[in-house]
Amino acid sequence: MAHSIEMALIEDQIPLFPQTKKDEIEEGSEVDYSIDIEETNNGEDPLGSQTKKSLNERIKNLNKSSNKIFTTIFKVTVGLSESNPDAYKPKLLSIGPYHKHDSKLGSMEKYKLCYLQRFLKRKGGIHDVESCISEMDKLKDDALKCYDDIGGIDMSIVVNFSEMLLLDGCFVVEYIREHCEFILDCESISIEEDRIIKRRCIRNQLNRDLLLIENQLPFFVLTKLYEMSKEEGEETLLEMVKWTFSLDKSSIETEGNEKNFKHLFHVVHMCMSCRPSKSKNRPSNMADCRRSLFGIQSKIVRRRRRRNRDEYMMWHKVMPNATELSEAGVSFANVGNIFMRSLDKVYDDDLGDSTSLFDIKFDNGLMTIPCFRVVDDTETLMRNLIAYEQQSSDVCLKYFSDFVVFMDYLIDSDKDVSLLRMNGIIVNKIGEDNEVASVFNKMGKGVVVSDDFYYEEECRKAVKHCEQSWNRMKANLRHNYFNSPWAGISTVAAIILLLLTATQTVLAFISVFK
């Protein structure tokens, strides 16, 4: 449960190349910034001329490339993935280069060809494979920049990159289009018959694989393919994404500009985060929602202020778990429901008293937390949301990460899960309570807790509440003497016996003086 922030020390800067004096450089001459490798006493090159050449070529290629880092679709770091690496890997469908040559995912290739064939038939069949690949060639260079060291994976992927963009991109676009057509006209038998993938269990698995951070295509590729095949009267691609993954409609409509999105998972991350809370601090419009990012007023102003010493020390104490808080007199209550929309498949009319996942408050001994469901794919979705926040340079406020860290603080064992479940906060759909505890404890590993931790105030208030003398005494009594029904009965019996003994002693003294 411990979370630490790793800080790298900045060592003394040592020049990588031998320094050349100014008078040694002739005007107009080109300086060769090669790496000199010292020869051994025998005059041999210890690393070999091929190594020197390779390093020089890599440096020249680095100089030719842009200084900016374009990576938006990255591989998850070992620190985040080591506790459950399977949560980031596709089980059925490979999209993009990272899992391209996984033999276990080969069964979907025939379906990709079927969706490509359907794509080519749209708009009267005006497109053929060659023209489509030509269009992808125009996007190839920008798309390559979106991935981490793709050349180090397999050069054959780079060679056939445009073909991969077409095949995988058409699958995503046509799959989303097919799903949307079925949703909007669910009474049509012909639409169900025309589905290429008919089995629901496969479609559920595909939805899971499409929402993996390592399994993405740049959104501008999907947009281009959709524009090439869009027919009159069709919804926008963003609208279709909303219908496919049951995202909030209002956030999609307001954003509008598809150029703002990096990939499909970015759309899902933003829309899952943007549903306004029904609390009194709810933003009045979507512009405010974007500033607060998750539909609740941002606490960044509060967090940016200078802490005094007591607050600083209080924040750096680990918050007690749910059982310990309960023993100290803290009560728990839910404040509405939160649905993981891409998993629960609920629509706008069914949201009822839904609220923001992050709307957690602590006040006067009462901690209120939205009710949320834990289902089979909750861990996979949450882990990928966290990985996206942790590794994206432009995500400043990491709310999903902070939520999981807060729940990791709150949950240490199945007793904590049981307590939260009985108070209507967790709906357990995966089995035993210890499984839920394990999910949150593992998800918290490797997650960096920043100074802008969203629940700092709630943690500080909870720690302060537990450190008050009366509450601490109450917690000790409950933990040591009332931790079970039999222990409570024994304690009460002992107290009664003690009182009776004291009464008998007093009566004996009184009788003596009489």
DSSP string, 48-106: -HHHHHHHHHHHHHHHHS-SS----B-PPPHHHHTT-GGGGS-SS---SSTTTT-GGGG
Top mean-pLDDT range of 183-192, 266-275, 291-300, 323-332: 323-332
Distance (Å, rounded) from C-alpha 290 to C-alpha 292? 5
pLDDT at 299 over 70: no
pLDDT at 235: 86
Distance (Å, rounded) from C-alpha 277 to C-alpha 32? 60
Of 92 and 497, the one with more pLDDT: 92
- Select from 330, 45, 380 the least CA-distant residue to 205: 380
pLDDT tens for each residue of 45-90: 555 556 656 777 767 666 555 445 578 999 999 999 999 999 999 9
Continuous segment of H or E residues that includes residue 117:
helix 109-121
pLDDT at 215 over 90: yes
- Select from 254, 252, 229, 230 the least CA-distant residue to 241: 252
Distance (Å, rounded) from C-alpha 216 to C-alpha 210? 7
Distance (Å, rounded) from C-alpha 213 to C-alpha 194? 30
Mean pLDDT over 387-405 rounds to 89
Spatial contact of 355 and 337, defined as CB atoms under 8 Å apart? yes
pLDDT at 260: 83
Question: Average model confidence (pLDDT) for the chain?
Answer: 76
Least confident of 291-300, 350-359, 376-385: 291-300
Spatial contact of 405 and 449, defined as CB atoms under 8 Å apart? yes
Strands (E), 380-484: 426-428
Angle at 169 between CA 163 and CA 170, to 5 degrees: 95
- HSE at residue 356, side-chain half, CA atoms within 13 A, is 27
Site of tokens 């729940």: 407
Burial degree of 344 (CB within 10 A; 0-12, 13-18, 19+)? middle
pLDDT at 35 over 60: no
- HSE at residue 35, side-chain half, CA atoms within 13 A, is 18
Top mean-pLDDT range of 104-108, 296-300, 499-503: 104-108
Q: Which residues partner with 369 through β-bridges? A: 334
Distance (Å, rounded) from C-alpha 170 to C-alpha 221? 10
Provide the token pair at 406.
């807060």
Mean pLDDT over 12-41 rounds to 45
Strands (E), 303-346: 331-338
pLDDT at 28: 46
DSSP state of 361: E
Give the three-state DSSP class for 188. coil
pLDDT at 382: 95
Sequence-distant (≥ 6) Cβ neighbours of residue 132 within 8 angstroms? 120, 166, 225, 228
